[in-house]
Structures are given as structure tokens and as C-alpha cells.
Amino acid sequence: MSKIMVTGCSGFIGTHLTRRLLENGLQVTGYDLNASSLIDRNFRLVRGDILDIEKLRESMKDCKSVFHLAAQTKVPESTKNPLADFKTNSEGTFNVLSVAKEHNAKVIYASTSTVYGAAEMPTKESHPMRPISFYGTSKAAGDMYCFAFNSTFGLDTIVLRIFNAYGPGNAKGVMYDLFKKLERDPTHLEIIGTGLQEKDYIYIDDTVEAFMIAYEKGVSGEAYNVGSGISTTVNEIAEIIFDTLDIRPKATYTGESWIGDVESSLPNISKLKRLGWTPKLSIKEGIEKLYEWMQLI
């Protein structure tokens, strides 16, 4: 039976991905600083930091593949503490790749759309990486280390540039935040920015399927965009949420977003589609599923 490591197994995407791997009958070693809600006879959790290379080395023994999702993922946090962001995202990824090289383990790296910065749209994987945040910069370094380990040492690496993943289990992000604000006051909604920010959002099940397709069919040394291929404004998201809740609150706007925020994103997803992947859930259906989950927590 194949043995897989998932770093960041307790995070939003990591939890869903680990569950899917276990459902597929794989043995999984989860590696995370935090506890995991997953219980399965084929799952082993190691509480560890990717900056602890010795613990990482011991934990990766016998693993044939590594899904590397452990990261600092907040743009504002990277602005407050760019050095900590660099150490986790850049140095931590270098550690994972170094140990994977020792074990000859395939690495599927969870990157981000923020590596592109304010890009031409729809954005292809060949677009230059010009991040405008410390977070995007530290993650772009991870992309480059994957390419370098592949070209220099022949390490099997695949980079997935995830746009804005959302869905049950994600207690952050624009959709979750809007729902929580309306829970506190259903008559008024403050929207950060202008409401015209337009981004690509990809449902968690489609995101996990992208990881599985890349794991099974992805070309070593390549990067793939993971998105819906449709951009949606914050105002449009708010309207879907109003319809879901059957309310008509007054919306006001702050006029400014946070430093480092990429206000528009739309990927070209044809490269991943050629592997047989396609996003299935519409943003309306996805938001409704997110709301159903929020009712349970």
C-alpha cells in the first residue's frame, strides 16, 4: 500500500485532501503543528514544524509522495511579520524538498495565485511571477525551489497554483466573513474595499480533485492553475448571500482593501483540464453548501 505524507494536514484544504486519500485506501502520515479531527486506522499524525528538518526527515521515512500544504497563508499576517512568513513558506518548503530528495519522494506543492501579482487575465502558468505581497513572494520562492530541485536533481515535483478555495471547513475568507457579519446584523453589511474586487473562487471538492488528478497524471516539473475559470465580484457574492438568507441589507464600503491584496484574478485553466479535470460546482451552489456547514458549527 502506498504511503503518503500530507504537510498541513489539519488545515482547510489539508483536511479535505487527507480524507480523500484515506477514502482511496492510502496510508497517510499527516504532519502539522496542530491537532487533526481525522481518525482512521491508515492515518498517523505527527505534530511537527516543517522548520524542524530532523523531525521531518524521520516522519517522511517510507513515504513515496508528499503533498506539501503547510504554510502561513494570510496576506495581512505576512505584512506584519514578513520574516516569519519567509521562514515558514520559503525555508520550510526548501526543507520539505530537501528531505523528499533524500527519500526520492514525489512532491505536490500547494502554491497560490498571489505569485502572479496583478497579472494579465486570463492568466496562464507561463505568466511571469510578480507578487505584490510578502506572502506571494514567499510562496513564489517555493515554486522556484520546486523547479530547481526538479531540473537539478530530477526530483518529481508538481506545483498547483490555487486561486481562492472555499467551502465547508474554511472559517475565513470573504464568503465566511460576510455571513458572520450578517449573522450579527442582518440589516447592514460593511464590505471591505469597493465591492468591485473580482476574483476566481474554486470549491473545495473541485480543489481536492485537482490535487488527485495532478498526483496521478501531472507532468513532473510543471505548474498548474487551479480555479473555476470564472471571476466573481464581492458585490455578486454578497447578492448570492442575500438571496441565500432571503434578506436585503444596506451595504456600505470601506473603499480600501488591505496592503498586498490582488484585487482581480482569473486563471486560464486549460492546462489542468487537459489532464481530465474540470470544476463541477457553481459559486451559488458552493456558497449554499458553505452556509449549510456554518449552520452546524
Task: State the CATH architecture for 167-199+230-265+281-294.
Answer: Alpha-Beta Complex (3.90)
For 3-165+202-226, which CATH class?
A: alpha beta
Give pLDDT, residue 159. 99
Report whether pLDDT(2) > 80: no
**pLDDT band for position 1 (50/70/90)?**
low
170: closest CA among 284, 71, 297? 297
166-206 per-position pLDDT tens digit = 999 999 999 999 999 999 999 999 999 999 999 999 999 99
Report whether pLDDT(240) > 90: yes
Q: Give start and end residues of each alpha helix (H) in the chain.
A: 12-23, 53-59, 75-80, 82-86, 92-103, 134-153, 174-184, 204-217, 234-245, 270-273, 283-294
Query: 185 vs 75, 108, 178, 181, 251, CA distance in Å?
Result: 27, 42, 10, 6, 11
146: closest CA among 125, 132, 124? 125
Distance CA 37, CA 253 (A): 37
Question: pTM for this one?
Answer: 0.97
Give residue limits of the domains in the chain.
Answer: 3-165+202-226, 167-199+230-265+281-294
54-70 per-position pLDDT tens digit = 999 999 999 999 999 99
Report whether pLDDT(18) > 80: yes
Give pLDDT, residue 203. 99
HSE of 60 in the Cβ direction (CA atoms, 13 Å)?
28
Please provide the average confidence, as pLDDT, over all residues in the chain.
97
